[in-house]
């Protein structure tokens, strides 16, 4: 597999009146052609800003820094706004969380589908239209040709998200970024959309970054997982490894929050993670999770690094091995202060 | 769209009728209009003659329907002061007011929309602050005072423009500035806030994610949606400008319908007052009706229901 | 910031300022409110203590001292700081007393129209249905009647006086109140806590007074400032056209009207009352904008 995107030490900061908010604090990851990377974390952990940073679509007051963002062999940091515009929607495409508001109400579906490809590729209006019909059919929209003349308000949320996916695929991107693509949809539609993304990924051989807070989604689609907490990736690895051996106490806590058929007994309390996310304003030394962690010791307040516990499974926890040993055998029902009602 | 148009039209007609009744009944605020018309030195015979001439001896509702029936056909009776048919007076004066209204509207839009767009695109920049200052000052400036100060400066201190009259295009310059500036703050603020809203919308983000250039995002995706409320406002503002023309035309002695309104009011020329008032109201109703249609046409959610 | 202890996760929460403190900080940090409020406060003081501040009787004519220029002009003297008008009345004194008229008309008209418009708007928004239809229709009718023209005509027919101007403006300026109150009441009515109050069996009056009104108060204040300014402006315009407050009352609009004949040689006769009018309107508009700014939730400026 060839690496499509490789990010090193990405940081996003937002100056506020109370100080500088470091929303993303030096994260590194890569994703290869045909592979799905899931960025998981609770709201406010910086996962959405990460995706916007890749596209360079951050709000104007947010500042993006990184050592390197290499995409298809080029360094995105060195591209100007013009160069970036050539990448956006062309080789790197994105799907957003809110299908209801992500389409312009003033223009037809066809118009909005075709404008990107007319811009990036040297195609005729007819070819653009044919491509649009082809992709609308691909994403499972019937009577595709007649849909082109419809306006967004005439479509349901599920259909609109399918249109958004088709729109993202118009130019045949190498990387598709999906920012919570199913959060705003009904549960039954969610599964269909996830299937669709997975199928299309195989068919078009794309790299996919999927951002979600839902571990169920991760289990369904991910090849690799990166768990984010307070702007950092605190654990990453192959999906099977993360689910079978969650090591970081935060990941363990997350796993405890979902019921597992056959394992979670009826009437048993699901886990919660006590405490709140620390303020992300200003610098932070040591482990960001320390104030909520049952295993926290003095060492956790020292500067720490991410290290592999087995090749390909990296954890940002000073006591990873000890935690793993302590929780071995009961990984799914970790001993982290589970179930204390708040 | 057809149903929508029919509904709006019905509403416009109902409103027109109600307003006409209100305008008609204004006359009766004074008690007996015949006495008021006759003036202070009139004797009983004069009053009786006026009553007969104007139909005041008939029941009020008969008078109303006669008046309304005439008004629909453009027949407003005889002006008491000018001694000529009211409709002729209006036909003579209206072009001046229309000319003033249109030029002031163009002045306002040409000034306000680019400023509003720039203010939204460069939020909190120098241009944003300058635009805000212009709006704040414009809202607080009494138009008649602004008009007088412009006269002092441009007609007396630096005499390059005439102070009053309506003979040449130069006579329209100062009135246009005053009336246009009066409408500018509202347009600018609406353009700015509308565009700011749209620029932070999800579909503008989608457009940017497609790799569209900033200019395309602005002109194709943002401005079109941001401008819809400005269109409605333009119609409403045009109505307000016509009433504003009463003050402006009086200050500049511009012989338009607004000046006619003031002349007839200050001379108790009731038939003319009623006619001008009714026409201004109907004009406003027609404008808002057209604005609604234009709005619906610009907004596919209404057009393609 | 470094995390010192694994406990005390709520430290930030405790240290956060209370809503009242935030509001106070935002009010005094808002330049518009500080400037507008300052000017408005000075004008109110001027109006309240007019008899103490004014150097002369605003109605006292002195034909020998007529048309004295203000102190900054060549022949100006400190005797009449802002000069005198065409019948020799002290201009500063008239200006100070004029503040009373503008403020009185602004407050009274905003109050009368506020009561009418709020009742209509809240009723339309809360009850919906036929009430809403009727109110919307009335608003549309009212909007299609040009305010200046109607008030000019009414004043011309009934006769101009301070009371008449207040009454006419009060009865005409309720439209914006009704529009704004209607839409904000509709918004709040659809919120869960109103449904909860209804479910709990609270009376309509109780819900209107305790759940709806407090939550539309901010918008009400903003509209009130706008209509205050509107009324002040209209009074000045009516008086300027000779169909508002009647002489010899020292209305600013009337002063401009009276000074109009001397515009060529003594433009200060209109510049001074006009500036006062401008400052008052500016102050009230800045206050209104400021109130709107500080009461909207954060991040939505």
pLDDT at B48 over 80: no
Q: What is the DSSP letter of C200?
A: T
Tokens of A133: 């019909």
Q: Does domain B89-268 have CATH number 1.20.1050.10?
A: no
Share of chain A above pLDDT 90, in %: 25
Q: Please give the pLDDT value at position C52.
A: 86
Residues, chain A: 342
Residues 109-138 of A with CB under 8 A from B: 112, 115-116, 119-120
Higher pLDDT, C208 or B29: C208
Share of chain B above pLDDT 70, in %: 92
At A17-47, the pLDDT tens digits run 778 888 898 899 999 999 999 999 888 788 8
Average pLDDT, integer, range A243-247:
88
At C112-171, the pLDDT tens digits run 999 999 999 999 988 888 999 999 999 989 988 888 888 888 888 887 788 889 999 999
Q: What is the ipTM of this complex?
A: 0.84
B9 touches chain C (CB under 8 A): no
Nearest to A142 by CA among A163, A170, A111, A125: A163
pLDDT at C14 over 50: no
Residues 226-245 of B with CB under 8 A from C: 236, 239-240, 242-244
Cis peptide before C248 (omega within 30 of 0): yes
Could you give the CA distance from residue B182 to residue B147 in angstroms, rounded to a whole number? 11
For C195, the 3-state DSSP assignment is helix
Chain C residues inside the 8 Å CB shell of B284: 143-144, 146
Could you give the CA distance from residue C265 to residue B49 in angstroms, rounded to a whole number? 49
Q: Please give the pLDDT value at position A263.
A: 66
Neighbours of B126 (CB within 10 A): 8
Instruction: With CB atoms and an 8 Å threshold, state whether A293 touches C3.
Output: no
**Residue B234 · residue B146 · CB < 8 Å:** no
A307 touches chain B (CB under 8 A): no
**Residue A38 · residue A225 · CB < 8 Å:** yes
At C220-238, the pLDDT tens digits run 988 999 999 999 999 999 8
CATH class of the domain defined by A3-213: alpha beta
A78 touches chain B (CB under 8 A): no
Nearest to B254 by CA among B95, B91, B87: B95
Tokens of B232: 């409605």
**What residues does each domain of chain B span?**
89-268
pLDDT at A226 over 90: yes
**Residue C153 · residue B277 · CB < 8 Å:** yes
Chain A residues inside the 8 Å CB shell of C8: 291
Q: Please give the pLDDT value at position B38.
A: 65
For A4, the 3-state DSSP assignment is strand
Average pLDDT, integer, range C71-77:
75
What is the distance in angstroms between the Cα of C8 and the nearest Cα belonging to chain A? 8
**Residue C120 · residue C178 · CB < 8 Å:** yes
Chain A residues inside the 8 Å CB shell of C5: 291
Residue B158: pLDDT band with limits 50, 70, 90: confident
Average pLDDT, integer, range A166-191:
87
Could you give the CA distance from residue B246 to residue B262 in angstroms, rounded to a whole number? 7
Instruction: With CB atoms and an 8 Å threshold, state whether B140 touches C267.
Output: no
Tokens of A196: 């669709």
Among A321-325, A331-335, B84-88, the range scoring the smallest mean pLDDT is A331-335
Query: Which chains are adjacent to chain B, needing at least 3 Cβ pairs under 8 Å?
Result: A, C
Report DSSP letters for A35-85, one per residue.
-EEEEE--TTSSHHHHHHHHHT---TT-EEE-SEEEETTEEGGGS-HHHHH
Task: Please state the pTM of the whole predicted model.
Answer: 0.80
Residue B31: pLDDT band with limits 50, 70, 90: low
Among the partner residues C147, C149, C279, nearest to B261 by beta-carbon distance = C149
Residue C16: pLDDT band with limits 50, 70, 90: low
CB-based contacts of B134, cutoff 8 Å, min separation 6: B115, B184, B185, B188
What is the distance in angstroms between the Cα of B214 and the nearest Cα belonging to chain A? 9
**Residue A224 · residue A237 · CB < 8 Å:** yes
Mean confidence (pLDDT) of chain B: 84
Q: Please give the pLDDT value at position A337.
A: 39
B206 touches chain A (CB under 8 A): yes
Instruction: With CB atoms and an 8 Å threshold, state whether A96 touches B202.
Output: yes
Mutating which of A57, A105, A146, A168 best tests the B interface, going by the most B Cβ atoms within 10 A?
Answer: A105
**What residues does each domain of chain A span?**
3-213, 247-335
Tokens of A186: 């009904």
Among the partner residues C137, C147, C263, nearest to B243 by beta-carbon distance = C147
Average pLDDT, integer, range C257-284:
87
Instruction: With CB atoms and an 8 Å threshold, state whether C3 touches A281.
Output: no
Tokens of B196: 């700011």
CB-based contacts of C50, cutoff 8 Å, min separation 6: C96, C97, C99, C100
Partners of A28 in the beta sheet? none
Degrees to nearest 5, angle at CA C93 with C89 and C95: 105
Tokens of A79: 């591209």
Tokens of B161: 């423009």
Instruction: With CB atoms and an 8 Å threshold, state whether A286 touches C2.
Output: yes
At C28-59, the pLDDT tens digits run 777 888 888 899 999 999 889 888 887 878 88
* H or E stretch covering A11: strand A3-16
pLDDT at B154 over 70: yes
Chain A residues inside the 8 Å CB shell of B300: 105-106, 151, 153
pLDDT at A339 over 50: no
At A120-148, the pLDDT tens digits run 988 899 999 999 999 999 888 888 889 99
Longest dimension (CA), chain B: 84
Nearest to B209 by CA among A179, A89, A59: A89
Average pLDDT, integer, range A208-231:
90
B101 touches chain C (CB under 8 A): no
Share of chain A above pLDDT 70, in %: 93
Q: Beta strand pairing status for A36-40 and A224-229?
A: parallel
Mutating which of A59, A99, A102 best tests the B interface, going by the most B Cβ atoms within 10 A?
Answer: A102
Domains and CATH numbers, chain C: 26-45+92-299 (1.10.3720.10)
Tokens of C23: 């509001």
Q: What is the DSSP letter of A256?
A: H
Higher pLDDT, B257 or C77: B257
């Amino acid at each position: 597999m060839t690496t499509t995107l490789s990010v090193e030490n990405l940081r996003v900061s937002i100056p506020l009146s109370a100080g500088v908010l470091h929303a993303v604090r030096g994260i590194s990851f890569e994703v290869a052609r045909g592979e799905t990377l899931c960025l998981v974390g609770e709201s406010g952990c910086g996962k959405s800003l990460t995706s916007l940073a890749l596209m360079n679509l951050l709000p104007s007051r947010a500042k993006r820094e990184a050592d390197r963002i290499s995409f298809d062999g080029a360094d995105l940091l060195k591209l100007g706004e013009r160069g970036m515009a050539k990448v956006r929607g062309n080789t790197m495409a994105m799907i957003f969380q809110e299908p209801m508001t992500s389409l312009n109400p003033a223009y037809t579906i066809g118009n909005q589908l075709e404008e990107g490809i007319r811009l990036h590729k040297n195609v005729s209006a007819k070819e653009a239209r044919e491509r649009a019909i082809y992709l609308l059919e691909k994403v499972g929209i019937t009577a595709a040709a007649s849909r082109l003349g419809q306006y967004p308000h005439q479509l349901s949320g599920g259909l609109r998200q399918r249109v958004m996916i088709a729109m993202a695929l118009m130019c045949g991107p190498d990387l598709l970024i999906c920012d919570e693509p199913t959060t705003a949809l009904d549960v039954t539609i969610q599964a269909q959309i996830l299937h669709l993304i997975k199928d299309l990924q195989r068919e078009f051989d794309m790299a996919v970054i999927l951002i979600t807070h839902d571990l169920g989604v991760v289990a369904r689609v991910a090849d690799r997982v990166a768990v984010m907490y307070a702007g950092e990736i605190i654990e990453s690895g192959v999906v099977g490894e993360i689910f079978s051996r969650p090591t970081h106490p935060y990941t363990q806590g997350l796993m405890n929050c979902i019921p597992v058929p056959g394992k979670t007994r009826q009437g048993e309390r699901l886990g919660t993670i006590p405490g709140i996310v620390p303020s992300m304003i200003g610098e932070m030394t040591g482990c960001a999770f320390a104030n909520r962690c049952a295993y926290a010791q003095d060492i956790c307040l020292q500067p720490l690094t991410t290290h592999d516990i087995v090749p390909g499974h990296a954890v940002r926890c000073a006591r990873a091995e000890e935690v793993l040993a302590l929780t071995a055998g009961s990984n799914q029902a970790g001993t982290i202060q589970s179930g204390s009602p708040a | 769209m057809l149903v929508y148009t029919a509904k709006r039209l019905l509403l416009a007609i109902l409103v027109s009728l109600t307003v006409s009744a209100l305008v008609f009944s204004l006359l009766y605020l004074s008690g007996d209009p015949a006495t008021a018309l006759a003036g202070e030195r009139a004797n009983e015979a004069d009053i009786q003659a006026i009553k007969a001439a104007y139909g005041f001896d008939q029941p009020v509702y008969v008078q109303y329907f006669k008046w309304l029936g005439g008004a629909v056909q453009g027949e407003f009776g005889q002006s008491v002061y000018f001694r000529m048919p009211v409709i002729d007076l209006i036909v003579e004066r209206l072009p001046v007011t229309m000319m003033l209204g249109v030029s002031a509207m163009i002045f306002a839009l040409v000034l306000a929309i680019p400023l509003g767009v720039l203010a939204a695109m460069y939020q909190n920049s120098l241009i944003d602050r300058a635009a805000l200052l212009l709006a704040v000052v414009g809202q607080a400036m009494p138009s008649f005072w602004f008009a007088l100060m412009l006269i002092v400066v441009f007609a007396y201190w630096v005499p390059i423009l005439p102070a009053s009259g309506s003979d040449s295009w130069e006579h329209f310059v100062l009135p246009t500035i005053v009336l246009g500036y009066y409408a500018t703050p509202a347009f600018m603020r609406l353009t700015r806030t509308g565009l700011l809203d749209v620029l932070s919308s999800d579909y503008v983000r989608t457009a940017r994610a497609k790799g569209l250039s900033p200019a395309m995002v602005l002109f194709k995706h943002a401005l079109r949606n941001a401008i819809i409320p400005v269109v409605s406002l333009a119609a409403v503002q045009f109505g307000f400008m016509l009433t504003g023309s009463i003050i402006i035309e009086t200050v500049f002695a511009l012989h338009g319908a607004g000046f006619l309104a003031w002349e007839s009011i200050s001379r108790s020329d009731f038939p003319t007052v009623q006619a001008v008032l009714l026409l201004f109201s109907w004009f406003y109703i027609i404008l808002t009706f057209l604005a609604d249609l234009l709005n619906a046409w610009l907004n596919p959610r209404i057009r393609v229901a | 910031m470094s995390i010192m202890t694994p406990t005390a996760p709520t430290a930030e929460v405790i240290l956060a300022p209370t809503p009242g403190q935030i509001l106070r900080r935002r009010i005094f940090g808002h330049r518009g409110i500080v400037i507008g409020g300052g000017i408005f406060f000075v004008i109110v003081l001027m109006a309240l203590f007019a008899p103490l501040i004014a150097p002369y009787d605003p109605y006292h004519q002195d034909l020998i001292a007529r048309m004295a220029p203000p102190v900054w002009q060549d022949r100006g003297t400190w005797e009449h700081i802002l000069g005198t008008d065409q019948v020799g009345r002290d201009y500063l004194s008239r200006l100070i007393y004029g503040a009373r008229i503008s403020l009185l008309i602004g407050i009274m008209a905003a109050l009368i129209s506020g009561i009418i418009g709020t009742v209509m708007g809240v009723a339309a928004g809360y009850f919906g249905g036929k009430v809403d239809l009727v109110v919307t229709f009335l608003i549309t009718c009212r909007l299609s009647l040009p305010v200046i023209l109607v008030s000019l005509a009414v004043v011309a027919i009934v006769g101009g006086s301070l009371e008449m101007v207040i009454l006419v403006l009060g009865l005409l300026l309720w439209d914006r109140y009704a529009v704004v109150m209607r839409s904000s009441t509709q918004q709040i009515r659809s919120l869960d806590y109103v449904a909860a109050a209804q479910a709990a069996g609270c009376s309509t009056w109780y819900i209107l007074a305790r759940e709806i009104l407090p939550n539309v108060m901010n918008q009400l204040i903003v509209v009130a400032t706008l209509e205050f300014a509107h009324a002040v402006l209209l009074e000045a315009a009516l008086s300027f056209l000779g169909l508002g407050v009647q002489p010899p009352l020292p209305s600013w609009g009337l002063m401009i009207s009276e000074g109009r004949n001397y515009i060529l040689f003594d433009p200060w006769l209109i510049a001074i009352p006009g500036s006062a009018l401008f400052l008052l309107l500016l102050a009230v508009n800045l206050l209104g904008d400021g109130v709107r700014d500080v009461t909207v939730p954060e991040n939505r400026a």
